[in-house]
Amino acid sequence: MGISDLTAFEAKLYKWLCKSDFENVPWSTPKAAKAFKVKQDEIYEALAELTKKIPNHIQIYYDNDSIRISADEQ
Which pLDDT value is given to residue 3?
83
**Could you tell me the pTM of the whole model?**
0.91
Identity of the amino acid at 3: I
Q: List the domain boundaries for the chain.
A: 3-59
From first to last of its 74 residues, the chain has per-residue pLDDT tens of 778 889 999 999 999 999 999 999 999 999 999 999 999 999 999 999 999 999 999 999 999 999 999 999 86
Strand partners, 59: 70
- Name which of 42, 43, 70 is nearest 54 in CA terms: 70
